[in-house]
Amino acid sequence: MRPSVVLTLTEPLEAHGQEVHTLTFRSPRATDLGKAGMPFRWINGGLDMNVENIIQLAALLAAVPPSVIGNMELPEYQRVQDIILGFFPSATAPPVAPTETQEQAPADRSLTQSIGMERALTSRGSGSPVRQSSLTSLGTS
């Protein structure tokens, strides 16, 4: 387990009716991701950060209301974001494309994409709809 990370705030914040000068972020657990969602995903070789999920996860890990994180000024929030992403080694390097020997056979690939899309559709916590174009682009319409 990774150690906790302490952030000294540039300006004190109020949490639970008290002035707070530091936030201590414990290591995330699987249940935290279930509650807050993944803080990022890789899209076209770039890191796509989900601000709402980062705010929710940071609040869970620091044991403060989400409004404390959400109301931070941007430079302070970016420090929090860096701490949260630091708990995920996969956030520091883009995924590696499979080599030819690792690549799946075409039939296996379409099955994997179908299963992956089904999981993505059933596990979406935001309630936002999936666009038809994203289904078509995977060859599953």
Q: What's the pLDDT tens digit per position in 3-12?
A: 899 999 999 9
Residue 37 lies in a domain: yes
Number of domains into which the chain is organized:
1
Residue 44 lies in a domain: yes
Say yes or no to pLDDT of 25 above 50: yes
Residue 68 lies in a domain: yes
Residue 32 lies in a domain: yes
Residue 130 lies in a domain: no
Q: Do the beta carbons of residue 54 and residue 81 sit within 8 Å?
A: yes
Say yes or no to pLDDT of 13 above 80: yes
**Phi first, then psi: what are they for 16, rounded to 5°?**
55, 35
Residue 33 lies in a domain: yes
- What pLDDT digit, counting tens, does each position of 42-97 carry? 888 888 999 999 999 999 999 999 999 999 999 999 999 999 999 988 776 666 66
Domain housing 55: 5-91
Residue 71 lies in a domain: yes
Q: Higher model confidence: residue 26 or residue 131?
A: 26
Average pLDDT over the chain, rounded to whole?
76
